[in-house]
Structure 1
Amino acid sequence: MKALRVDALGITFILVWASGYVVGKLATDVMPPLTVMLWRFVLALAALAAIAAIRREAWPSGRELWGLAGIGILMFALQFGGLYTALAEGMPAGTVALIACSSPLLIAAANAALRWERLSPARWLGIILGVIGVVITLSDRVGRPPSSTALLWTLLGLVGLASGTMLQARLRPTSGPTAQGTVEVAAATIVMAAWAPWNGSLAIPLTAQALSSYLWLAIGGSVIAPLMLFALIRRRGATGASTLLLVVPAVTAIASWPVFGTPIGPLTIIGLAVAGLGLWLAQRRAAPRPLLVTTAPSRSDR
């Protein structure tokens, strides 16, 4: 029964994360990318803080507070700011998705190099197959970077996602999970508030497309998805949680069909099959190394 719940959480996470790409396209068609980021973080911050207060969760302080703030800057501000800026610089969306969704391989390699996590040969094979599946899915959409600047922004986004995920897995704070998310999004909001004004208007158009896409990105993409990701990291570790991203490009392509009319080609189906096989192999759990911070469980976890 426990395995069934974990699988359901993983499937839901994949669907919500993939929806962010589809809805993000709708939002950025009518708003500057970093404007979308700023205001989705503002609304997500208010929602997370309210949930944490209602649940009476313990709040982080001291070293824990600063650690969570740093993770938030990496995982939210640097990841999304870097990837969306790359798109605005003309980087093809397929290339951005390919680089971002190869993060499980980077995370696995970094964890192995740091001896934070031991992976079996089957899990390594699964991650490599998953990346191959991503390449197959996106092979007809990948283009050359228009400039070294666009490539750099994409790589910075990848580093933000990978390093934030790894550090999230290493910490065991005493505060509640929603309170942790509040601190992380608050830190990202501060960074984005300084960054977004340099990249266009901060106004949200009062249209159905702009408002509906914005609301979903704020609640689904910045509240629901991160909380699910944190839960998956606690249960599966950084590598296990991040490997779910391997099937996101294929799921995104399928979801884009009814929204944008983009037909599903054979490469999407083949890529999904290969990535799915890789995901199955990569989910074989390995014993993690001792955690960086060990503290007593919070009142909200009891």
Structure 2
Amino acid sequence: MSLDRLAPAIFVLLWSTGWVVAKFAALLSEPLTFLCIRYLTAAVLFAGLCVASGVSWPRDRRTILHAIVSGVFLHGIYLGAVWWAIGEGVPAALSSIIAALQPLMTALAAPFFIGERLSTTQKLGLCLGFLGVLIAVLPKFFGQGAAEIPALAILVNMLGMAAVTYGTIYQKQHLQTGDIRAVATLQYVGALIVTLPLALGLETPHVEISFAFIALLPWAVLGISMGAILLLLYLIRRGQVSRAASLIYLVPPIAALQAAAIFGEELTMPMILGTVIVVAGVYLTNRKDAAPAE
């Protein structure tokens, strides 16, 4: 089976574990501090991989700048905003709904930035996917004291969604060439440029060094920051950004399934039904015979 067929499924499985990582990380470190450690480790490992593999680094300043800027949006602002908002009291269910706006926002913005147009079937798939996410996680959100959620934290969470939407389009627009391992290395430099000052200004850089931390960090770096991100960059480069973004729909329900298995959280019928609808929506969006509209 080709990488084109396997990459979407592997990406979703890896990326969805980010919710579990965030929940564990909150017990060991403040969110932005943990992200700084994660970004720095990923940048160092990616740089080592590039050197060991003899990767050709970008030589023109414009490409280097584009890679750093894309990292600011894809990692720095996006994850920083989402993790901070969850730490401030935004329930994971609501955060996942906000994140699920990304595929719709990407589909709306792509025609203006890169001239990407979708077929009627793909548009239907995007709407169906968002409906599935709402069915899966919205009932859970209503049981968590919505009135007590800070408005600022919700706005910051929405900023993160907007950032990853723009970052995905920016990646497609400016970084269609060059080795994606070198691009990923520079992206984490961009992420650190944003996250490190915020962590130093808003948090106390304390980390509980324990077996749990030593076990969690490698997965956060190798599984998500390296494995999942390489697959995402590959998918963006190989196809439509709207198709790649639609895979985000699968993350909340699959993360909910993981939380049920690992933390014993309740697995409800709306979550099961919503997951089925999400899968159908993503399938329609990514069908090979779905020709873009003329």
TM-score bracket for the superposition, by shorter chain length: over 0.9
Distance 2:291 2:42 in 1: 34
Aligned counterpart, 1:250? 253
Distance 2:62 2:258 in 1: 41
Deviation, 1:114, is 4.1
Stretch deviating more after TM superposition (170-179 or 182-191): 170-179
2:129 equivalent to 1:130: yes
2:196 equivalent to 1:180: no
Q: Contact (CA 8 Å) 1:30, 1:205: kept in 2 or not?
A: yes
Change (3 A) 1:288 1:64: farther
Deviation, 1:172, is 3.7
Distance 1:251 1:180 in 2: 28
Aligned counterpart, 1:16? 14
Instruction: Give the partner amino acid of 1:59.
Output: W
Distance 1:203 1:12 in 2: 33
Aligned counterpart, 2:106? 107
3-state SS, counterpart of residue 139 of structure 1: helix
Instruction: Give the partner amino acid of 1:149.
Output: L
2:25 equivalent to 1:27: yes
Q: Contact (CA 8 Å) 1:86, 1:153: kept in 2 or not?
A: yes
3-state SS, counterpart of residue 190 of structure 1: helix
For 1:17-166, what aligned pairs fall within 5 Å after superposition? 17-60=15-58, 61-114=60-113, 116-143=115-142, 144=146, 146-166=149-169
Q: Kindly provide the CA deviation profile for residues 205-249 of structure 1, in whole angstroms up to 9, marking residues without a partner as x.
A: 121222211221122121111101001111222111111111111
Long gaps (5+) in structure 1:
290-302
Stretch deviating more after TM superposition (131-140 or 168-177): 168-177
- Paired residues in the alignment total 287
Deviation, 1:102, is 2.1
Deviation, 1:187, is 1.2
Aligned counterpart, 2:4? 6
TM-score, normalization: structure 2?
0.92
TM-score, normalization: structure 1?
0.90
Q: Kindly provide the CA deviation profile for residues 65-115 of structure 1, in whole angstroms up to 9, marking residues without a partner as x.
A: 111111100010000111111112221221111111221010001113446
Percent identical: 28
3-state SS, counterpart of residue 142 of structure 1: helix
RMSD of aligned Cα (Å): 1.8
Equivalent of 2:263 in 234, 252, 260: 260
Hey, which bits of structure 1, 4+ residues long, moved more than 6 A? 286-289
Deviation, 1:168, is 0.8
Distance 1:165 1:18 in 2: 18
Q: Contact (CA 8 Å) 2:93, 2:137: kept in 1 or not?
A: yes
Deviation, 1:263, is 2.6
Distance 2:155 2:254 in 1: 26
Q: Contact (CA 8 Å) 1:125, 1:278: kept in 2 or not?
A: yes
For 1:276-295, what aligned pairs fall within 5 Å after superposition? 276-284=279-287
Distance 1:173 1:251 in 2: 30
Q: Kindly provide the CA deviation profile for residues 275-295 of structure 1, in whole angstroms up to 9, marking residues without a partner as x.
A: 000001000356789xxxxxx
